Amino acid sequence: MKRVIFCIIGWVLVLGLHAQIVENMRIYTDKDCYVAGEDLWIKVCVTDSLSRGSVLSKVAYVEISDTKLVYAQGKIDLQNGNGWGRIRLPQVMHTGAYQLTAYTRYMRNYPMACFPKKYIALLNTVQTTEEDNVELFTDSITVSQASGNQLSGADLWTDKSVYGNRSKVALTLPNLPADVKELTLSVVRKDYVLKGFPISADGQKNYTSVPERSFAAECEGHIVTGRLMGAPADNVNARLACVGKDIRVFGGQPKADAIYAFYTTGITDMQEIVLTALPEEESPCRLELVSPFVGVLAEKLPKVCVSFRKEDLIERGFSAQLHSLLPVDSSYSKSILQQLYDFVPASTYNLDEYVRFRTVRDVFVEFVKGIRISQLEGKDVIRILQPDIRRFSNMKTLVLLDGIPFDDHETILNYDARLIHYIHRYTGKYTFGGELYDGIISFITHRGTLPDIRLDKNSQMFSYEFPQKRIAFVAPSYNSEKQAGSRLPDFRHTLYWNPEITPAMSTLNFYTSDMNGIYIITLQGISVDGREIRMQSEFVVGANH
């Protein structure tokens, strides 16, 4: 009895602490002034009330907006409270100031005033609009900007003060105290001066009370939300699956107002997903995606007063357009999902090694073992031989085509087998979303994209962007004369960006681009007692600057 009482007390204490968990967030970007079409590189750091990296949330949300519209959004994968990524700034953004807002799903339990915010300036070099709110100066403006807390004896050193184009820069980092964290380093061209522009918006406000937990924290991964349309939510199950060559099936958890939550894990970047409504009685209904973003608009924005040389502005605009045509890397492409479950098929058939037959039904009859086609309520269903009981199970089998479940087995039996590459047969019992299956039969096509098949009336396919996979800042390397002599133009404005700087690192190397000018190296972070750390240094590219 005492053991039971102690267990109850322990659970009460744990739940009480969890109810009082707070999250604080800081935002770092590679620069403060952008051109429409450029990439914004961002790092977010989420900490708990003890200034430790938060383990509560696995996803951070970022929005860039003015007072009327949200222009760009992104999801960032968090590990131990830290995450980074990039956001492409659309060409349609007008010239002016924007508010960058970041938050986690758990932070949505608090007012939006609690979200951390930052201002950025943006120039559109292609078009002018009525919304433009900027004052450009062509003369030199001297501005005194706060440089943060400079650590005693801490300096950034480059091996030279002047470099040529496509030259190697060796940067020596200062000896930093071991307790400095969240270090981020950027190297950008100094071709603008913002006059009186407040980079930081109103700071993140402290939480004054424990909120009602309407939004669950994303402890394991991104939570996809769908809303049931066309039928009451009573007695309707929901399912989400990813199109691909791996098994990614998630059951929906019903919430209030016909909302279903799908607790996914291990999925990144843009994916094709299928949402399926599963009513107990046959009726037409469907699931629609619900945006996980709040849609935060700025209440007010400062005016942008910027000093810019005309030649630099033209070159910067050309750089942004060139980047959209010739990206440095291809990480915007669809991400290939890695294996989530450690399922091992009992047998695998590579259909390229067999005589081709027209339908899957013919393939089963000719050479696939351990499969039987039975009749159930007037329809053909697939059964799998279970070796533990040495007979074909009477329970339903999970039938997948490129990762998508098909409850109507006749659709798969009549499918064109010439499109299929592999057949995987799994024995044993499996549970997905509260549904129990006796075995899995998985069909993988050559393309892995559900070719030439129609989904049932209760299923819909969507292109959905999951949190960004952690990507490294990629820049050209000019180690050889051949690389340095490449005819591909290199108009990088941001030469280097690294969100993973640690006090133990001593040197870094990167290469200059074809853009001449003065470049600023900025190292940002925070000390253990919460003091912001900011160090800067400069070097020149091109002899005429």
203: CATH: 2.60.40.10
Residue 259's domain comprises 223-290
- Whether residues 455 and 354 share a domain: the answer is yes
Looking at residue 281, its pLDDT comes to 81
Looking at residue 16, its pLDDT comes to 46
Looking at residue 441, its pLDDT comes to 96
Whether the predicted pLDDT of 146 surpasses 50: no
- Whether residues 201 and 87 share a domain: the answer is yes
**Residue at 327 is within a domain:** yes
Q: What is the pLDDT of residues 482-501, one digit of tens each?
A: 999 999 899 999 999 999 99
Looking at residue 235, its pLDDT comes to 85
Asked if residue 336 lies in contact with residue 408, where contact means CB atoms within 8 angstroms, the answer is no
- Whether residues 284 and 167 share a domain: the answer is no
Looking at residue 434, its pLDDT comes to 75
Looking at residue 214, its pLDDT comes to 85
- Whether residues 235 and 304 share a domain: the answer is no
Looking at residue 204, its pLDDT comes to 57
**Residue at 8 is within a domain:** no
Give the end of a domain, one of 462, 490, 514: 462
pTM strictly above 0.75: yes
Q: What is the pLDDT of residues 168-198, one digit of tens each?
A: 999 999 888 888 999 999 999 998 888 888 8
- Whether residues 136 and 26 share a domain: the answer is yes
**Residue at 376 is within a domain:** yes
- Whether residues 411 and 265 share a domain: the answer is no
Whether the predicted pLDDT of 411 surpasses 90: yes
- Whether residues 517 and 425 share a domain: the answer is no
- Whether residues 174 and 268 share a domain: the answer is no
Mean pLDDT of 251-263: 94
Overall domain count for the chain: 3
**Residue at 71 is within a domain:** yes
Give the end of a domain, one of 402, 427, 462: 462
- Whether residues 354 and 435 share a domain: the answer is yes
- Whether residues 71 and 166 share a domain: the answer is yes
Tokens standing for 319? 């750089």
- Spatial neighbors of 419 by CB under 8 A, at least 6 apart, are 445, 446, 451, 452
**Residue at 263 is within a domain:** yes
pLDDT class of 339 with cuts at 50, 70, 90: low
- Whether residues 496 and 391 share a domain: the answer is no
pLDDT class of 545 with cuts at 50, 70, 90: low
What are the backbone angles phi and psi of residue 54, rounded to the nearest 5°? Answer: -70, 135
- Whether residues 514 and 491 share a domain: the answer is yes
Q: What is the pLDDT of residues 40-80, one digit of tens each?
A: 999 999 999 888 899 999 999 999 999 999 999 999 999 99
Provide the CATH number for the domain around residue 429.
Answer: 2.170.130
Residue of 154, 201, 243, 228 lying closest to 26 (CA atoms): 201
Asked if residue 328 lies in contact with residue 475, where contact means CB atoms within 8 angstroms, the answer is yes
**Residue at 12 is within a domain:** no
Least trusted range by pLDDT, from 5-19, 143-157, 232-246, 337-351: 5-19
**Residue at 9 is within a domain:** no
Specify the higher pLDDT residue, 154 or 402.
Answer: 402
Mean pLDDT rounded to a whole number for the chain = 87
Distance separating alpha carbons of residues 422 and 344, to the nearest angstrom: 14
**Residue at 414 is within a domain:** yes
Give the end of a domain, one of 462, 494, 529: 462
**Across-strand partners of 200?**
118
Specify the higher pLDDT residue, 147 or 155.
Answer: 155
